[in-house]
Amino acid sequence: MKFIIKTTLKLLLFFFLLVLPIGLFITFLALSMRGVPLWNLGLRNIVDYGFNYLPHTVVVSYVLAALITVSLVDRIKVKSLFAVHVPVIIAGIITGAGLYYMQEAPVYADTELNVGKNTFFKNDVFSSADGLSIMTRGANTYHVYNRKTNTLSTFVSRREAASSLKADLDRGTFLLYGPDGPVTVPLPPGRRNETLVTMGLVVRYAERARLVYRRIHASSEGLGTNEKLMLAAALVLSTLMILIPLVWTLNDSGWRCAGLFGIFFFLGLAPYFSGFLITMLKRFEPNLLFMGAWKFLFPAVVFGGVGIVIDVIAGLAKKAGR
Amino acid sequence: MKASRKALIFLFLSTVTAFGLVYLYFWLTDGSGGTEGITRELMGSVIARRALVRSLSVLPSIAIFVTITAFSVLFTLAPFQEEFSYSAVAVPSHLFLLLLIVFIVLSQLLLIPKTNRETEWRIYHANAEERALSLSGRFAREGDPRRAVTVLDTYLEMDRMNETAVKKREEFLEMLRKRSSDFGKTMEEETRGTVQTEAPPTYYERGKAALQREEYHQALYYLERALTLHSDNAELRELYARTEKRVGLLIGSLTENEEEIQSLIQRKGRALAYIEQEDYYAAYEILRELHERYPGLGDLALYLHTVEEELKKTDFLPSEPRKYEWLPSFDSIIFMDGGGYINTVRRLVVWNDTYYFYGVDRYRPDGSKMCSYLYGKYIEGKILLKNDTGFVGPACDESVIVPPVDPAILPFIMDTGTLDDRLTVYERFSLGDKLLSAGVDVEDALVYLSRQLGILFAVYVLSLLLGTIGWAKRSIYEFPPVLKLIIFIVTVPLLSHLLLFLYRGANDLLIYSFRYVQRSVFRNTNVAVFTALVNGIIALAVTFFFLSKSSRID
């Protein structure tokens, strides 16, 4: 009992330590993938936008905290793999409940980014985008240099260019209004020096994770809010069911760093493995009538099943080792 | 002492091995992008440099990885099974890490930018070679070996020892000789006729030599130059008078019109006076007209040549950039000059440390077009522009651009990423403001310094922190289990790289937050000092953590 309470508290401590950096990381990654540079985005803007990713932040922080806690458990004192699952589930219930109730609170809102010309352009310098170099002067003058034709055009945009910046953010373009009518111009990409989110491996991993998330989201269309929440919780727990025994196996009392390093090894593989499982499920389209109204939980059941199998193998391997 | 020595050897060998493997990986996987057409030999040199730059960029991650490996695995192996104190491995590791950080500083701030620039220029010269060979070959096939030789002569100005180009030139010259044998002199013979193989040192001696060859106009020119220097030399004055008389007879043979002769002499005298006053444009105007009218007068040709050489120090003829037009170029460049005008350049050709501009348009700050020029050349800190005109006079303001930076930087300003990798720390500080005023999106020098400090502190903090954690959780086996070791080797390099990026990202956040912090606390300081301070505190804490450990196994 003492172990369960102590480990749960440790997990929650790790969770609260991780939630802010993970939240910032996810927010910046989301902004970067949307092509929004960070150097002139106000802090309030970032925080407001970050709240859109509160569920993602909570889930990732919880999973990471759980795995770090499991990898640091002293296996000389604690021998039962089952016992390690209990604090994880308890902490999961607490954080899940917290997230559920936070949805009602005013802090969690579906906020849009507040961007303007100054988000993308520095005055009096040329920014490159798609074969064009664009310079802003003052409030509404734009010089646009076309590198292919070596021509410079100047637009004095009388209309509010900021509104077009907001509207076309997802397309990555904005409108300039000149004497001959509107012209579509690409938005310059973010500066290279935002190192947090420009590491190629990180971006590729995030895109893969987003793909898996979208597949799951697509498969849950038509479900009510409570059912979606149930599916999300079940998937998170069932993913942990797979990861915990793997990390536990590497948590070697003789070399405990292996457990810590192993977390990143398995997390790195997780989106690819999950993506593979989901693809297989879609391909084979099993008959889910036996699950009745709970058939939407089938992916989580499969993940959990795989986790149980790994638990059993880990347990048997340990007995064989003895 | 034994443990310390072993620790240093392990660390050194691990670093060299890891760096070597990374270098090999980059060298083998270089896709040779952007190197089409360059020789195999140069391609090897370019790939080697690129691999070196990429390996040096990854050196911070290598440093972290080596430290983690050392404290997790290496210092637990058989050579370290005898009893030793923690400080026997901690102190040499710390010193080795500091040395590695110094090397990282030098590579990030100096070596990488310089190597990148050098590689860029090598590729440019290789493209020039490829173009010279293909263009000359095309001219030869089209039956114009003279143009083929001209192209190769231009290339060989820069690279005299290029065997392929020299061989090709000989081939085309031979082709030209065969073709020209019925039609007079070849190019070589033409140039040989006017160039002395060994010129006498003084004007007086040159004048005497020309007299012996009965080239009286040339003799007159040299003796006139000698007389301006030694006007009291009686022998020289006498020789000049005789030569002048002889030339007078020759001029008389050109025309019977006494007035014309007098006019010729007067105008030549005026031209010489302008030369003495260093008003070379006025002298050029007179001499050019006289030379066109009397091409046989050798002294006029020589004076004209002298004036042209003087004018070329501050001006140029359109024939000069036309000669180099076929060379590869850096295209579509835009920048602002000191007067606030926007200048667009269709092509920039760099040859023999000389910069030629083609298709230059100038715009006023409001975007309206001011003027256009066909050619430009960088002379004495300015870009002189002109259309198809010769030496017409001193340039007006419209046709002179004072570039904000050396033109060597201009090819790289169009892409922020390219420029970032090619500026040394010194250039960042000395050129930063100038580049900004030119409209180049370059980062503030202090912000750049803050980011570099972030890299250095990231290496220091992460190496010590993860090394210490690794030491606390280190393996108790004489040799770690194979599967776990494999997972370790697969995961830890990537993890080191990822954590380095995360720390640098956190440092970026620190730099970002300075604008808010500056409002209240750090008013009179700059972002680099703020970053160094915060990172320094973290580094200090981690150092204490690192040194607090012991060799006891928990």
Going along chain B from its start, the domains and CATH numbers come out as: 2-122+444-547 (no CATH), 143-194 (no CATH), 203-311 (1.25.40), 324-426 (no CATH)
- Residue B489 scores a pLDDT above 50: yes
Q: Do residues B390 and B307 lie in contact, with contact meaning Cβ atoms separated by under 8 Å?
A: no
Instruction: Sort out which chain B residues have CB atoms less than 8 A from A197's CB and list them.
Output: 505
* Dist CA B507 CA A200 (whole Å): 19
Q: Do residues B187 and B173 lie in contact, with contact meaning Cβ atoms separated by under 8 Å?
A: yes
Q: What phi and psi values does residue B82 have, to the nearest 5 degrees?
A: -75, 160
Q: How confident is the model at residue A178 (pLDDT cuts 50, 70, 90)?
A: low
- Residue B516 scores a pLDDT above 80: yes
Nearest chain A residue (CA) to B340: A124
- Residue B524 scores a pLDDT above 70: yes
pLDDT, tens digit, for every residue of A277-322? 777 777 766 666 666 666 777 777 778 888 888 888 877 776 665 5
Q: Do residues A261 and B496 lie in contact, with contact meaning Cβ atoms separated by under 8 Å?
A: no
Interface probe for A, chosen from B77, B416, B474, B504 (most Cβ of A below 10 Å), is B416
Is A193 in Cβ contact with B505 (below 8 Å)? Answer: no
| Percent of all residues in chain B with a pLDDT value above 90, rounded to a whole number | 26
Is B414 in Cβ contact with A133 (below 8 Å)? Answer: yes
Closest residue by Cα to residue B37 from B111, B107, B106, B132: B132
**A108 or B385: which leads in pLDDT:** B385
pLDDT score at B194? 39
pLDDT, tens digit, for every residue of B273-288? 888 888 899 999 898 8
Sign, CA dihedral A54-A55-A61-A65, equals: positive
pLDDT, tens digit, for every residue of B453-482? 999 999 999 999 988 888 887 766 667 778
Q: How confident is the model at residue B535 (pLDDT cuts 50, 70, 90)?
A: very high
Q: Do residues B403 and B410 lie in contact, with contact meaning Cβ atoms separated by under 8 Å?
A: yes
| CA B240 to each of CA B218, B266, B269, B291, B462: distance values in angstroms, whole numbers, following the listed order | 12, 18, 15, 22, 85
Of B334, B474, B501, the CB nearest to A195: B501
Mean pLDDT, residues A45-58: 84
* Dist CA A161 CA A175 (whole Å): 7
pLDDT score at A104? 60
Buried b (16+ CB within 10 A) or exposed e, A281-294: eeeeeeeeeeeeee
**A317 or A28: which leads in pLDDT:** A28
- Residue A105 scores a pLDDT above 80: no
Sign, CA dihedral B391-B397-B398-B403, equals: positive
Q: How many degrees, rounded to 5, is the angle at CA A248 between CA A246 and CA A254?
A: 125
Is B361 in Cβ contact with A196 (below 8 Å)? Answer: no
pLDDT, tens digit, for every residue of A218-241? 777 777 777 777 777 888 888 888
pLDDT score at B75? 82
Closest residue by Cα to residue B452 from A41, A178, A195, A3: A195
Mean pLDDT, residues B47-68: 92
- Residue A144 scores a pLDDT above 50: yes
Interface probe for A, chosen from B330, B334, B348 (most Cβ of A below 10 Å), is B334
**B94 or A110: which leads in pLDDT:** B94
How far A228 CA sits from the closest chain B CA (Å)? 32
B68: Cβ contacts below 8 Å, ≥ 6 apart = B463, B466, B467, B470, B492, B496
Say which range, A201-205, B129-133, B305-309, has the weakest mean pLDDT. A201-205
Is A264 in Cβ contact with B495 (below 8 Å)? Answer: yes
All structural domains of chain A with their residue ranges = 2-112+195-321, 122-186
A244 CB-contact burial (10 Å; exposed 0-12 / middle 13-18 / buried 19+): buried
Q: How confident is the model at residue B36 (pLDDT cuts 50, 70, 90)?
A: low
- CA dihedral B60→B65→B67→B70, nearest 10 degrees, is -150
The DSSP call for residue B82 is: S
Average pLDDT score, chain A: 77
Mean pLDDT, residues B308-324: 89
Closest residue by Cα to residue A251 from A72, A52, A114: A72
pLDDT score at B378? 94
* Dist CA B247 CA B324 (whole Å): 40
- Residue A103 scores a pLDDT above 60: yes
pLDDT, tens digit, for every residue of A53-77? 888 888 889 988 988 888 887 777 7
* Dist CA B184 CA B375 (whole Å): 35
Q: How confident is the model at residue A217 (pLDDT cuts 50, 70, 90)?
A: confident
Q: Do residues A103 and A39 lie in contact, with contact meaning Cβ atoms separated by under 8 Å?
A: no
pLDDT score at B478? 65
Owner of token pair 């991993």: A205
pLDDT, tens digit, for every residue of B419-451? 888 888 898 899 888 998 899 988 888 999 999
- CA dihedral B505→B511→B516→B518, nearest 10 degrees, is 160
pLDDT score at A192? 45
Instruction: Sort out which chain A residues have CB atoms less than 8 A from B474's CB and list them.
Output: 255, 257
Supply the ipTM of this predicted assembly: 0.78
Is A28 in Cβ contact with B505 (below 8 Å)? Answer: yes
Per this entry, what is the length of chain B? 554
Interface probe for B, chosen from A25, A43, A126 (most Cβ of B below 10 Å), is A126
pLDDT score at B1? 64
Say which range, A125-129, A194-198, B89-93, has the weakest mean pLDDT. A194-198
Model pTM above 0.90: no
